[in-house]
Structure 1
Amino acid sequence: MSTQVPAEREEPVGDTPAVRFVDERLGAAKVTRGALRYVFPDHWFFLLGELALYAFVMLIVTGVFLALFFSPSTATTTYHGGYQPLDGVEVSHAYASTMRLSFDVPMGLLIRQTHHWAALLFLAGIIVHVIRVMFTAAFRKPRELTHLLGVLLLGLGLVEGFAGYSLPDDLLSGMGLAIAYGVVLSIPLVGGQLGTLLWGGSFPTAGAFESRLFIAHVFLLPAAMAALIGAHLALVARHHHTQFRGPGRTERNVVGTPMWPGYALRSLAWMCATFAVLLLLGGLVQINPIWQWGPYEPWLGSNGAQPDWYLGWLIGALRLMPPIEPRFWGHTWAGNPFFGGVLLPTAVFGLLAAWPWVDRRLWTRDRLDHHLLSLLRDEPGRVGATAAFAAFVATIFLAGSADRLFVAAGVPYEAQVWVLRAAVFVVPAVVGGLAARAARRQGDVRR
């Protein structure tokens, strides 16, 4: 005769009927207790990820507001609104609705500019966070997948940002879309078909693209990014935060502040500060004044404006790539837009994604789990390679963002292109060598 021993029940927490009612039906006491006891390391580095998270929350909130008033259509209409210099001009519905948001909708300009600043802060937070992860080797086993999700989130963020500032159909966004269309067409074998599929025809006459871009920007990409953020945070909680070496810190523990009440209150304050700064920027610092650029016209090719900073390295790659058109397998490749606009970003993000395995193969040969961060002196080779990689992207970014400064200083455009082409090879080598030497010298002094 067998007997069954009833499972032990955890006593419900709380002394109020409401708390007992919830816990008896959901069994949330154990999960909640574990979450409240979760420990966060005490270092400002770990606030970078939260900065990006709170900027994303602001993007969602302000984006919902903007979507209520935006009209994703390139069909023409006559503008009548608060901006008198354009009164009576034929523009697209997309441009007219953005102008109404900026001049006629109460708080419209504040929300629109706050949304734009939040996008810039979101990408800045992710980029600095990824650089920190690479320098401190926070990507090591068992966090390779966490790193991959972060890199993928960065890539989607770049696409989402480009889609967002391309929606108003002003001269700047139209020029950006024309460049993007040319880059897509340059993809060998499938470029023409892919361009037709995405744009619904030839740019800029394809009228379906604006609504497709709007759906991608408002629904598809934010949903994918929210899923990636959720998966990223779940993996961080699963493996716990990494931490720097220090008294009492080992590979098996985390020393810091528990979630409640210490870290939760600190994080709420950080969130409020992030929101406050973004709202101040939106209200006091002008960004993307489309009324100065005017509506997009295909025959207008220059207005002196620059794209958002996170696209500067892609523009720089297109400017530095020589105008070559090699032939392979019986096909002519449009070298400039393909190598600069497709191959280079693919290589950069491919290397970022593969960095944990590159590090393991070239420097550490280590397959053990690590929860303590690596110091710069621990692996000078990794430090030098990371610094060289960052300098390479920064030099290309300089080529895409400083051309007007060089021209204003009297440097001819052709001269600056050739100087920057040489700098792309020289600067990373110098920066990487100096960084590796500094890390090696720090290790020698420590020993």
Structure 2
Amino acid sequence: MSVKDLIFKQAKEVDERYQAAKGLRPRMNKVFPEHFSFLFGELALYSFVVLLLTGTYLALFFQPSSAELVYHGSYTPMHDVEMSQAFASTLDISFDVRAGLLVRQMHHWAANIFVAAILVHLLRIFFTGAFRKPREANWIIGVFLLILGIAEGFAGYSLPDDLLSGTGLRIMSGIVLSIPLLGTWLHWLVFGSEFPGELIIPRLFAGHILILPGLILVLIAVHLAGVWYQKHTQFPGERGTERNVVGVRTFPAFAARSTSLAIMVTGILALMGGIFQINPIFTYGPYQPSMSSINSQPDWYLQMIEGAMRLWPGWRIDLGNYTVPAVFWPAVVMPILLFGSILVYPFVERRLTRDTGLAHNIAQRPRDVPVRSGFGAMTLAFYFVLVIAGNDDVIDFVFSVPFERVVWFGRIGVLVLPPLAFYLTYRICLALQRADRDVIRHGVGTGVIQRHAEGYFVEVTQPLRAEPDQESLKFARYRGNPVPHLPGDLETTKDGGKVAAKDTGRLP
């Protein structure tokens, strides 16, 4: 009996007992859209799988302890240096564990790509209106996944107890203490004592490998279940409607494509881990409260808070025996307002637009919703200004720009650039809408220039709708209408009109 016959026989026996085909057939025939932008969610998923695998390997060798020791390991430049067991075990992973440094760097790169993929995925959902009814819950889950991914990244970033991560942890300690009334109690709950204490590393380790990954796994499972049963949105097209899905089936096309993406993500992360250095803790040294250095910035997804703290003036509020430090506003209030606004945006837009009708399965083009696109551009401009402000010391050092001038540029920019981004995006969307109306009214530009009888030159346009006497364009539609590009691609009809001789292109 051949292998094929043996597999077929075993599958038949399983189906006879459990009726597997009855449950699998509709799942295998499920249709997924083909647009590339839908792959960012899968990119986040496969990055998270790499995170789980590499993190499990690293956890076998990491010592989550703040106990002090004198290092005498393989990295000779650190000999006789006092450090925590956490930092010493990270050095051992980097230089003594087989493939330890490769796995460490793969893990760190995967964390950055995981958060970036979630962010880009959310941006695609926002700008195309994919958060509208009935997908509001999935939008909320996606935002919480972004928040948990940032928290998970910060916890892992702080575990090695090196000079850079220790500086970030000290900043976080100050942020917690800045919270009025609750700050002292929350600091004790997190650190167990005054900073740094001996409990913070074990607690971060437990949160990093158990609590936060568990929450992320639950949210991913709920998110995938929602996408599976509610189906994806899709871009408008010739066949796409609110009641169907146009794309490829789960098996074999989508399964092969998704498996290929998973292999590519793993391979590229392995390549990045082997070639591109990231977080070289052995060049930073162990954390010492009295030391810091230039370019002490966290990973990119936290630089916004760093930049906000650097731009905010030193205004503090004294209320009797209580003080509200200046850092409370940019580091606590601003992120809460920002993420809170992102969470409730679908409900605010639905109320303002009175969009309480049927479910929306067709994605919108950003140009067709200029106000929403303007708000998105404004938020991105706000974010990028704060990220640049978080590197003001590096700008000062590299470009010899006075530090105070960089700060004032950032303060002015954070007030001026976001509204400017809103206005420009809004006007660009309106201009694109006018261009669309011109296409509908006059036809598609072909790029072919023709001399008119009166002597002037005009571009040959092709109408979107077929004229009654143009048999070749009788069934032309907005999507898929042939567009000629060269003079040789045009034919002259009996009445002198121009039609496409062959299909040389299609409308985007």
Calculate the TM-score normalised by the size of structure 2.
Answer: 0.83
Match of 2:162 in 1: 170
Match of 1:435 in 2: 425
For 1:322 and 1:25, how far apart are their aligned partners in 2?
71
Amino acid aligned to 1:344: M
Q: 2:340 aligns with which of 350, 353, 366?
A: 350
Amino acid aligned to 1:425: L
User: SS state of the match for residue 278, structure 2?
Assistant: coil
Q: 2:377 aligns with which of 387, 406, 414?
A: 387
Match of 2:258 in 1: 267
Match of 1:9 in 2: none
1:217 matches 2:208: yes
Q: 2:84 aligns with which of 81, 85, 92?
A: 92
For 1:304 and 1:248, how far apart are their aligned partners in 2?
53
Question: Are the structure 2 counterparts of residues 116 and 377 from structure 1 closer, same or farther at C-alpha, using a change threshold of 3 Å?
Answer: same
Q: Matches of residues 39-438 of structure 1 in structure 2 within 5 Å?
A: 39-204=31-196, 206-327=197-318, 331-335=322-326, 337-363=327-353, 365-438=355-428
Q: Per-residue deviation at 1:405?
A: 2.1
Deviations 1:72-107 (A, max 9, x none): 001011212221110121211000000000011110
| Bigger Cα Rg | 2
Question: Are the structure 2 counterparts of residues 104 and 433 from structure 1 closer, same or farther at C-alpha, using a change threshold of 3 Å?
Answer: same
For 2:16 and 2:111, how far apart are their aligned partners in 1?
43
Q: Per-residue deviation at 1:304?
A: 3.2
For 2:380 and 2:223, how far apart are their aligned partners in 1?
23
Q: Per-residue deviation at 1:266?
A: 0.7
**Which piece of structure 1 moves more, 396-405 or 377-386?**
396-405
For 1:27 and 1:341, how far apart are their aligned partners in 2?
56
Calculate the TM-score normalised by the size of structure 1.
Answer: 0.94
User: SS state of the match for residue 332, structure 1?
Assistant: strand
Deviations 1:205-260 (A, max 9, x none): x1011111100001110011011111111000111011000011000000001010
User: SS state of the match for residue 356, structure 1?
Assistant: helix
For 2:174 and 2:199, how far apart are their aligned partners in 1?
18
Match of 1:4 in 2: none
Q: Per-residue deviation at 1:301?
A: 2.5
Question: Larger RCO: Structure 1 or Structure 2 (Cα < 8 Å, ≥ 6 residues apart)?
Answer: 1
Question: Are the structure 2 counterparts of residues 255 and 210 from structure 1 closer, same or farther at C-alpha, using a change threshold of 3 Å?
Answer: same
Contact 1:51-1:122 at 8 Å conserved across structures: yes
Q: Per-residue deviation at 1:330?
A: 6.5
Match of 2:446 in 1: none
User: SS state of the match for residue 91, structure 1?
Assistant: strand
Q: Per-residue deviation at 1:433?
A: 0.6
For 2:355 and 2:266, how far apart are their aligned partners in 1?
43
Deviations 1:192-213 (A, max 9, x none): 0010011111111x10111111
For 1:247 and 1:330, how far apart are their aligned partners in 2?
68
Contact 2:72-2:80 at 8 Å conserved across structures: yes
For 1:19 and 1:356, how far apart are their aligned partners in 2?
46
For 2:322 and 2:80, how far apart are their aligned partners in 1?
48
Question: Are the structure 2 counterparts of residues 303 and 430 from structure 1 closer, same or farther at C-alpha, using a change threshold of 3 Å?
Answer: closer
Amino acid aligned to 1:273: M
For 2:61 and 2:267, how far apart are their aligned partners in 1?
24
For 1:402 and 1:232, how far apart are their aligned partners in 2?
38
For 1:134 and 1:16, how far apart are their aligned partners in 2?
46
User: SS state of the match for residue 390, structure 2?
Assistant: helix
For 1:15 and 1:213, how far apart are their aligned partners in 2?
47
Contact 1:172-1:303 at 8 Å conserved across structures: no
For 2:143 and 2:205, how far apart are their aligned partners in 1?
24
Q: Percent identity?
A: 46
Q: 2:14 aligns with which of 19, 22, 29?
A: 22
Contact 1:170-1:296 at 8 Å conserved across structures: yes
Q: How many residues align?
A: 432
For 1:303 and 1:112, how far apart are their aligned partners in 2?
24
Q: Per-residue deviation at 1:328?
A: 5.1
Question: Are the structure 2 counterparts of residues 328 and 445 from structure 1 closer, same or farther at C-alpha, using a change threshold of 3 Å?
Answer: farther
Match of 1:11 in 2: none
Contact 1:363-1:382 at 8 Å conserved across structures: no
User: SS state of the match for residue 306, structure 1?
Assistant: coil
For 2:252 and 2:392, how far apart are their aligned partners in 1?
47
Contact 1:79-1:86 at 8 Å conserved across structures: yes
Amino acid aligned to 1:236: V
Match of 2:484 in 1: none
Question: Are the structure 2 counterparts of residues 364 and 91 from structure 1 closer, same or farther at C-alpha, using a change threshold of 3 Å?
Answer: same
Amino acid aligned to 1:57: V
Contact 1:113-1:283 at 8 Å conserved across structures: yes
Q: Per-residue deviation at 1:408?
A: 2.1
User: SS state of the match for residue 293, structure 2?
Assistant: coil
**Which piece of structure 1 moves more, 339-348 or 358-367?**
358-367
For 1:252 and 1:231, how far apart are their aligned partners in 2?
23
